[in-house]
Amino acid sequence: MVLPLTCVTLAWWLTGHPIGPWTMAAPLIVYAALVFHRPDAWLLVLPALWPIADLARWTGQIHVTETDALLLTTIASLSLRAIVDRTPHAVDERTPYRAGVTAWAGMLALALAAVIAIVRGISEFPPVSVEAWTGYSGSMNAIRVGKGYLLPMLLIPFFHSALRRDGDGTFRKLCIGFAGGLGTAALAALWERLAFPGLTDFAQDYRTTALFWEMHVGGAALDGWFALTLPFALYAAWSVRRSPVQLVLMLAILALGAYGVLTTFSRGLYLAAFVSVAALGIVLLVARGAEARSIGYGTIVAAGAAAVGAFAIATLAFRHGGYRGAGALLVAAWLTYVLVGQVGRLRWTQVALGLALGIIIALTSNVAAALVDKGPYLALALAAIAGVLLSWHLYRRGRTSGPRVLALAVFAWTVIAAAAVPVHWGGPEACAEAVIAAALVAIPGLVQVSTGGRMWVPSVRGAVVSGALAVACVLAAAVFGSYYFQSRASTAGADLETRLVHWRHSASLAQSDADRWFGIGAGRFSEGYFWNVPQGLFPGTWRILDDGGGSFLRLGPPRHMVDFYEMFRVTQAVPVDVRGPFAYRLRVRASRDSKVRIEVCRRHLLYAEDCVIRPITVKGGDWQSIAGITEPGVQTRGPWFAPRLAALSLDLDSGVTMDVTDLEVLDGANRPIVSNGDFRQGTRWWFFSSDKNHLPWHAKNLALHAYVEGGLVGAVILGAVVLTALGRLVVRSRAGGLLAGVPLAALLGFLCVGLFDSLLDVPRLTFWLIIVLWLALVLRRYPLAARRRVRRQPGHQSGSPSSANVDYSYSPTAQ
């Protein structure tokens, strides 16, 4: 039953895709063949493609998207493979995953609540009119939101079968897949910032959206994805043991992820990242399994202290020294690990000799550096190179008295040279912060060479990890020290007050008893807000209608005065190399004199630059044709390697409803740049956005959104499943270690973001939330994969039952 249904749905979707059925079918066929040949490949590929596959921003299709097609292809391939195999796969009884009544009942209850919400949200069925497929007010929006709960139910049987066959291997593959998803989302964020504010410009009011088109009306889709995937990516990096290439790749993904997380400027996501990492650390401290024994409690605490110290050093140096100052001090901190860790203990006379020699070399190099342009950078480079060469010599050849003292001297030289960089860049005002940062770098090294025991032993793996940590700390210091973040931090109190008022308005949408028990319906929040919150600000509406004489776009006016950056816009992506002036022609209709605007801007989702704007005056009455030419304008080109995105927009500059059709626009090269200008193909190629005013589109709280659209029944069911999953993971964290800790951290991080945003109105997030909940609900308390380690007690005979203590702790690396 599942296979025919998925195939028919895929065929229907492909035949109507704007880009063309065969263009979209080709990659799906390749992916289907891969999954059929290697059934577990979807664990790696599907999460990695999930944040970048959707093309709604370009195609206008928001209700059934490319990620839906990927998922349906996955299910179809797995179903076909199951039919072909026929022989049931063997179950590994040692697997730590087994589904009980609680798991199946929880999923069934979630599915039932989703069906009720979908039924209440559908106003037209079957949705045959064009209006049903338009925006968030159409009937299909209920299915768009509700599918996030229902589609996972089709994949869970295959997912659970993989867990039962090889629980440890399936979990690791899922973690690698999520790491890939974190990396692709971060790459999309980097791509976006390269196109607009720049990679290192953190002062502009620009928050990253990547390729989560759902953020065209605000929200936290990207934040939720980062919060959900970060713990899995951390585990994927931690579990790499022998392959340096894999380790570097995973750390590169984490570095990209850090950039993506920081450039969201989301206070909720920052809280989620802190909670997730803290949860992982706590689980490692309390776990009885191999993770804690292999790392050691001291190592966990030391790693946390090193991260805090590195961030403090970067922040102090960045305040006046910028990237150069922070980078210089963190280079010195990195040498503290890789160089001083090879020195070992020195006598106090050797310490004094090494420090004196280092100070003399540093003073000499600083005097010489003053005679050369950018001399402090050169002095630091020479010191760092000498430190790297000495650390490699000590690592390869062993230690003798001479090189150890010389290594300490080079370390002292590096610290002093690094402190000189922020002073050179920031002037005398930077001296105090530079001295404190240098002390934070030097003290651990001096303690290391002065104590009897070694505080740390450097390794190649540790050097790579510490280097990645240093890069992340520089990025964090740059973002937290930026003007934009400071302005956001200063408005946190006012934002919370606004949010509290909005929450009260949102809760009031459930007005009848049926609404309070079963919700207003899936996907109905924005429409309910429009009609039932009179004091609420709503930026505008759009619908595509057909009155018998042809299709047309109806633009609804805003309910309040809006500026340029608050306009509700109907948009269409246009070629990236368009140049003005633009010739336009359209038919419009309005009840009284008003204005509509045509804009061509550099734009991705929410932020417009270098716009060519043409206000068009419309006389009240019946349909009329208007034509004209815009000003030439300037479409600024970035560097050759930067992506260039552009969009044409229509928006109202008045308080009157207006109808538009037969829109044609030619660029300066006489090329048509608008498709489906008569709207006969519905929303094909057309998109919409609300740049600044986002509250009318979201409840801005996960639990509140569940209540408004699903009622008390839906909210209680979801809450019960989530709390049960969290409780089971907490109970199993001691025996299961990171098998429980990773999904626990992911759920806690996701819920932290959900404190301040809906998230469940993004089916791409709801889908993976359900999958992670299943992972939590089927984890057993005492995994049978544990090996019974028998400890013989004195005074008892070997083999006697009383002579053994059985340890049921689970080691995910045992198999």
- Tell me how far CA of residue 772 lies from CA of 98, 162, 767, in angstroms: 15, 14, 9
CA distance 5 to 11: 10
Edge-to-edge strand ranges of the sheet holding 658-666: 541-546, 551-556, 658-666, 583-590, 621-629
- The mean pLDDT value for 403-423 works out to 87
Q: Is the pLDDT of residue 157 over 70?
A: yes
CA distance 50 to 69: 11
pLDDT in tens, 212-262: 999 999 999 999 999 999 999 999 998 887 788 888 899 899 999 999 999
What type of residue is 265?
A: F
Q: What angle do CA 309, 312, 315 make, to 5 degrees?
A: 150
CA distance 227 to 54: 20
Higher pLDDT, residue 716 or 605? 716
pLDDT in tens, 586-604: 999 998 988 999 999 888 8
For residue 676, the SS3 value is coil
CA distance 715 to 706: 5
With bands split at pLDDT 50, 70 and 90, how would you rate the model's confidence at 514? Answer: very high
Higher pLDDT, residue 786 or 631? 631
Q: Which of 444-453, 625-634, 755-764 has the lowest mean pLDDT?
A: 444-453
- The mean pLDDT value for 435-450 works out to 86
Q: Is the pLDDT of residue 806 over 50?
A: no
For residue 357, the SS3 value is helix
With bands split at pLDDT 50, 70 and 90, how would you rate the model's confidence at 199? Answer: confident
If you write DSSP's letter for every residue of 454-469 in order, what string do you get? Answer: -S----HHHHHHHHHH
Task: Return phi, psi of residue 380, to 5°.
Answer: -65, -40
pLDDT in tens, 530-563: 888 866 678 888 999 988 888 999 999 887 766 7
Ordered alpha helix ranges (H), 427-491: 431-450, 460-480, 483-490
- Counted residue by residue, the chain has a size of 815
pLDDT exceeding 70 applies to what percent of the chain?
90
For residue 44, the SS3 value is helix
Q: What is the number of alpha carbons within 13 Å of residue 35 lying toward its C-beta?
A: 25
What type of residue is 686?
A: W
With bands split at pLDDT 50, 70 and 90, how would you rate the model's confidence at 322? Answer: confident
pLDDT averaged over the chain? 86
Q: At what angle do helices 244-262 and 221-238 cross, to 10 degrees?
A: 160
CB atoms within 10 A of CB 559: 18
Q: What is the number of alpha carbons within 13 Å of residue 729 lying toward its C-beta?
A: 27
Q: Which of 451-465, 481-495, 530-544, 585-599 has the lowest mean pLDDT?
A: 451-465
DSSP symbol at 437: H
Q: State the pLDDT at residue 796.
A: 38
Ordered alpha helix ranges (H), 519-578: 525-532
CA distance 463 to 336: 11
CB atoms within 10 A of CB 464: 16
With bands split at pLDDT 50, 70 and 90, how would you rate the model's confidence at 23? Answer: very high
For β-strands 658-666 and 608-618, DSSP reports them as unpaired
* Cβ within 8 Å of residue 211, ≥6 positions away: 51, 52, 54, 57, 185, 188
With bands split at pLDDT 50, 70 and 90, how would you rate the model's confidence at 295? Answer: low
Task: Count Cβ atoms within 10 A of the Cβ of residue 415 and give its class: 0-12 exposed, 13-18 middle, 19 or more buried.
Answer: buried
H or E segment to which residue 598 belongs:
strand 594-603
DSSP symbol at 216: B
For residue 683, the SS3 value is coil
CA distance 448 to 694: 53
CA distance 761 to 408: 57
Distance between first and last Cα of the chain: 36
8 A C-beta contact, residue 606 and residue 197: no
With bands split at pLDDT 50, 70 and 90, how would you rate the model's confidence at 753? Answer: very high
Edge-to-edge strand ranges of the sheet holding 687-690: 608-618, 594-603, 646-652, 568-573, 687-690
- The mean pLDDT value for 179-204 works out to 90
Task: State which fold the 539-692 domain adopts.
Answer: Jelly Rolls (2.60.120)
CA distance 527 to 97: 42
Maximum distance among all Cα pairs of the chain, rounded to whole angstroms: 104
Q: Is the pLDDT of residue 751 over 70?
A: yes
- The mean pLDDT value for 623-650 works out to 79
Sort residue 664 into left (φ over 0), alpha (ψ -120 to 50) or beta.
beta
What type of residue is 107?
A: M
